[in-house]
Amino acid sequence: MKGKKAIGAALLSMTMGLSMFAAGVFGQAPETQDSYRILVHGPSAEKAKAKDQYGIRWDFGETGFTTTVNAPQYLALLKNKNLKVEPVSQVLLEAKPGSGAQAAPSDRTPWGMEAIYNDSNLQATSGGSGVKVAVLDTGVNVNHADLAGSDEQCKDFTNRRSPLVNGTCTDKNGHGTHVAGTVLADGGSGNGIYGVAPEADLWAYKVLNDQGSGYSDDIAAAIQHVADEAARTNSHVVLSMSLGSSSKSTMIADAVDYAYGKGVLVVAAAGNSGPNADTIGYPGALTNAVAVAALEDVQENGTYRVADFSSRGNPATDGDYLIQERDVEVSAPGRSIESTWYDGSYNTISGTSMATPHVSGLAAKIWAENPNMSHNQLRAELQNRAKANDIQGGSGATSGDDYASGFGFPRVK
């Protein structure tokens, strides 16, 4: 017992610095630690020996490889002076608790749809044909009446035994199905809800578990897979991530750069740690990701402001109309957003998680209408559309590029 206690104490001190990636709020508790996901890097020969001995989950080349070990194996690796070993961080969701599921939507075109279409009389949505939207989340109920037939890919990156399982993306949390619905729900059989771009194709990648947390290596591998699939299929792909961490993962940062280099537009949540400055999370804070802040409708009168919970960027960059690391780029509806739910029903929840798919859907809609655009041109178009739509001041929001709302609120028209 004494030996086990010593091992546990040693590992606890080494893993205290773990950051969390999840879909909801930063700081959700990780899974019980009966095993340890680690990144191993060092000289090629030493890495090769370690790969043979401990196995590989994901190989990131020069960055290293990840594997899962027990406590004695972890300590044995730490004693190898030729290798550097570090724990793999976890990521969390970017949403707040909902109001409770209901059998039918209270509004087939919720306020977020009316706002982003700039049409208070909106009856249905359209667009996105031919564009792929990769939703990296808790999975998606692809059999939901409003999403059925939209899924082109369905994959699970969270399985402990096999790092990638094709043909399954089961969502028992609800978050991923909610996000997917905001992008491309098609109204179902006439009684359902609408998303921004219902004609887009869904790539549903489960990277977070049913509790809403996931490992950064699984997320990085999924991002790279999206990029490779985009190249293989010669497709326009919008990658949507409503998840985040307060700290930067090198694996995820490298994967985002890789995807962006392949022509994928990456859209990510700014985080729910506002209203103070410099609270934006990763991967949204990366320069090659479009960070989305959350808006609320002031007294339901069509006047929008940044929600207090929405993370803020760097105030020192206000008004420069440039996107640097830790900058908010654009804003979209994120308070009290109604969408599809994992059990076939509907739910209303809040967060930058909910704002992100509004922008992902808008990007898909614009790209479908302008297929000759590059992802860089598409990003510029989102910024240009945002500039023309001022947001009410307060909590860091001004009429231009600011650390709370970014360039502003991009819309269909």
Tens digits of residue pLDDT in 369-407: 999 999 999 999 999 999 866 686 555 555 578 999 999
Task: Report pLDDT for 95.
Answer: 79
User: With 90 as the cut, is the pLDDT of residue 359 above it?
Assistant: yes
Residue 392 CB: number of other CB atoms within 10 A? 16
Cα 166 to Cα 163: distance, rounded to the nearest angstrom: 10
Task: Report pLDDT for 34.
Answer: 76
Reference 126, options 391, 406, 365, 377; nearest CA is 365
User: With 80 as the cut, is the pLDDT of residue 74 above it?
Assistant: yes
- Tell me: the pLDDT tens digits for 210-219? 999 999 999 9
Mean pLDDT, all residues of the chain: 91
What's the gap between Cα 99 and its chain centre? 22
Task: Report pLDDT for 267.
Answer: 98
The three state secondary structure string of the chain is: CHHHHHHHHHHHHHHCCCCCEEECCCCCCCCCCCCEEEEEECCHHHHHHHHHHHCCCEECHHHCEEEEECHHHHHHHHCCCCCEEEECCEEEECCECCCCCECCCCCCCCHHHHHHHCCCCCCCCCCCCCCEEEEEECCCCCCCCCCCCCEEEEEECCCCCCCCEECCCCCCCCHHHHHHHHHHCECCCCCCCECCCCCCEEEEEECCCCCCEEEHHHHHHHHHHHHHHHHHHCCCEEEEECEEECCCCHHHHHHHHHHHHCCCEEEEECCCCCCCCCCCCECCCCCCCEEEEEEEEECCCCEEEECCCCCCCCHHHCCCCCCCCCCCCEEEECCCEEEECCCCCEEEEECHHHHHHHHHHHHHHHHHHCCCCCHHHHHHHHHHHHHCCCCCCECCECCCCECCCECCCCCCC
Q: How confident is the model at residue 13 (pLDDT cuts 50, 70, 90)?
A: very low
Task: Report pLDDT for 3.
Answer: 47
Residue 176 CB: number of other CB atoms within 10 A? 32
* Choice among 175, 225, 358, 375 that is catalytic: 175
Q: Are 290 and 265 in contact (CB under 8 A)?
A: yes
User: With 60 as the cut, is the pLDDT of residue 30 above it?
Assistant: no
Q: Are 207 and 175 in contact (CB under 8 A)?
A: no
Q: Are 311 and 352 in contact (CB under 8 A)?
A: yes
Encoded amino acid at 351, one letter: G
Task: Report pLDDT for 33.
Answer: 56
* Choice among 19, 89, 137, 216 that is catalytic: 137
Encoded amino acid at 185, one letter: A
- Looking at residues 239-258, what average pLDDT do you find? 97
User: With 80 as the cut, is the pLDDT of residue 27 above it?
Assistant: no
Cα 356 to Cα 280: distance, rounded to the nearest angstrom: 14
Cα 213 to Cα 18: distance, rounded to the nearest angstrom: 13
User: With 50 as the cut, is the pLDDT of residue 12 above it?
Assistant: no
Task: Report pLDDT for 20.
Answer: 42
Task: Report pLDDT for 302.
Answer: 79
For residue 153, how many C-alpha atoms fall within 13 Å in the half-sphere facing its CB? 23
User: With 90 as the cut, is the pLDDT of residue 269 above it?
Assistant: yes
- Looking at residues 163-189, what average pLDDT do you find? 97
Q: What are phi and psi of 22, to 5 degrees?
A: -155, 170
* Choice among 150, 240, 353, 360 that is catalytic: 353
Q: Is 353 a catalytic residue?
A: yes
Q: What are phi and psi of 73, to 5 degrees?
A: -65, -40
Q: Give percent above pLDDT 90 in the chain.
A: 83
Q: Is 146 a catalytic residue?
A: no
Q: Is 405 a catalytic residue?
A: no
Q: How confident is the model at residue 249 (pLDDT cuts 50, 70, 90)?
A: very high
- Looking at residues 184-209, what average pLDDT do you find? 97
- Looking at residues 142-149, what average pLDDT do you find? 98
Task: Report pLDDT for 325.
Answer: 97
Task: Report pLDDT for 17.
Answer: 35
Q: Give percent above pLDDT 70 in the chain.
A: 89
Cα 157 to Cα 136: distance, rounded to the nearest angstrom: 10
